[in-house]
Chain A
Amino acid sequence: MTQHDRSPLAPRPVSLDPITIEVIGSALASIVDETGEALVRASYSTNIKERRDCSTALFDREGRTLCQAEHIPIHLGSFIEFVPKILAEHVLEDIRAGDVFIGNDAYAGGGTHLPDIVLAEPIFIDASLVAWTVNLAHHSDFADRAHAHIYQEGLRIPPIRLYRESVVNKDVLDLILLNCQVPRERLSDLRAQMAANRVGVRRFTDLCARHGTQTVLAAGDALLDYAERKMRAGLAALPDGTYRFEDIFDNLDWPEALPLAVDITISGDEITLQFDAPPQVRAGINMTYTALLATTYYIVKSVVDPTILPNAGLARPITVKAPKGSVVNCAHPAAVNGRVQTCQRVSDLILGAMAQAVPERVSACTNSACTVAVFAGTREAGPQKDTLWVYLETIGGGGGARPNADGLDGIHVHATNTSNLPIEALEVEYPLILMKYELVDGSAGAGTYRGGMGLRRVYRATEDCRIRIDITRLQQGSWGLMGGGRGGTSRIVPGPGVAPFDMGDGVLKAGQWFEIISPGGGGYGDPANRAPQTIADDARDQITCAAM
């Protein structure tokens, strides 16, 4: 992230007491909460309205995060370069109130994968640009594609104007919609994103009217400093040293497992993470540098101090290095659609290294996955007959066991945190029937505290469809800590008559079914030390752990 400690655009002479800053910080948090709620409630796609796969934030005029709502950590990756890219590509004097910028590209737009479409609107007070309201929605589109390079993955949109002074740029909109498989949903979700930004502009303007623009901007700066101080205080309390961790990253996008490693050096109140990874591959699992930053900031904050404000200040003591052109720091034209699996693995890699420094403050390995299932087909009946449909969902797995408690069962971990779609909504919207949704016996890593259990979902198709599954931990379960065992592995089980999936790609005929099993979490501590009462409860509740 580009950091300007002293902004060239305007000096901020106001000096503030910590109480005023705290009061304004509360107000900023209210604004991003409200814009997020507006986005979800006005949206149409199941991915936003029920699964809440979206985020909202406020940025200062240079594009530094002032405040991000507690939605999806990986979305920060798309945010942090977006405003700087706008400022780099457009003449500042020509940016006007009511302009709305749209973008998604991993290289020209600071994005992390193409379905995450960002909308940013500048906020003007007294004719000067003071801040940006920004939101991101994961549009479930660009499905059933190849991923050898980014040109196969969907429409690339650089940061361009979707609206000029509140008037829609119809040419741009039409071009985008023609490239989408479910244009009606895209249009509706974009409208919800617009509505959310309008709320952000209105609330931020009110806040400036109340406290004075200079005071709000100065408080914004001070909040960044504050997050930095807390991050430094937290890092200073960790033991200095260099900690290395390695793991093998297997997935359904690339035939070979990829070795990943990190060396973490904690020195005083700073931390450096040096990653090592193979060169980028012709598959969708590459991470852009911004995705790597967002992932790193997320997990470092979680370990060091979960209460640090999620703004750009927390990044200042963190240095992230990775070989350019590698899987974790890819270059054009690498494909990136499935980067979330890599983000999850990087998060666990960092946990593994931090466990050597502070084993009492980290969990064992989570299920390391964000298991993704994408269904696509052509509607065979109903009012939308002959139109395309795309349904994306992500499936949780086991959380890592903690030093004082079992891992959480069937949850989303790390860079993502989306809801499931209610079955009673899924089956109304798509030609699918869910036959089973349960915790997987034998998937928890054994331990004094066991890992969380993975999930099983069994789907039956009522119309023909194509399926794409992204998953990891097929070969080796998630690692335990301090003598804890590995979690259970993941798998795809085709039902009768269904052809085996080819690297995650499958086809279902109407009436056929298949199941997905997500991985479990690693255990913590020697299983021999598990409390006898807990062992009895496990037996009573038919909970078994993965074999050691």
Chain B
Amino acid sequence: MPSLPDMGTPDVMALARAAADAQPHHDDPHVADPHLADVALRPAFFDWLCRMGDNALILGHRLSEWCGHGPALEEDIAIANTALDLIGHAQLWLGLAAEVEGQGRTADDLAFLRDTLRFRNVKLVELPNGDMAVTLVRQFLFDAWAFGMLRGLTASTSPRVAGIAAKALKEVSYHLERSSDLVVRLGDGTDESHARMQDALDRLWPYAGELFAADAVDDAVAAAGIAPALSDLKPDWQRTVDEVLAEATLTRPEVRFDVHLGGKQGRHTEHLGFILAPMQFLQRAYPGASW
């Protein structure tokens, strides 16, 4: 089912396209990529690119909610900057997704005109920010995964994917350093900060496994050499997580980490709709609006 158009404006997609056409044309035309013409691979490639883009977009949007509310000015700025990087990654991934799809959609169309069922992010990134401990533990678990994924993607058989990954990896390396530093500092901090960090870890842990839960889409892009197999990323992720948690005097929960699945297939928590409502309002109410 495609996303429903705005009720008052039946031709919302055409308006959005016209606005996008009016923007300067930007891409990497000098990079030839054989995968872009692979029709059989197209549905899986598109879906997988949406997963990459939606993870970055939804986490970036969540982090942006801290802007102006951080516990200290430096943290506020750091979180906003991380959000900015992630939204930049979302633009790149969703832009390529739209190109692969070949239906004339743009990154903006994908971000602003899909409904929850069409979003492909893992549930971990859509969870509410909670306190600073929840925000930081979520960030650390995600950064450690993104770092390994992007590093693997720099060797992708798709030059366009490899190009985006090389760009994003530099920024995510910095994010990972920051989030692991803070997990250590707050985990091995005061009694209060330690308790909050352990509580956040206990709550988020059952969501982390979705990052490694492969389905037919992941298998198809891995078989094409576009992305590494998710199972290959797990040992490094576990090592990083164990190292940082040990240093942070935090205890890795004993429960399974792959309890809450389904986000990658479009089955989300109720929280995603509450993110999309303010995020998509403007393009829904004023289709094609630009500045």
Note whether A and B form a binding pair. no
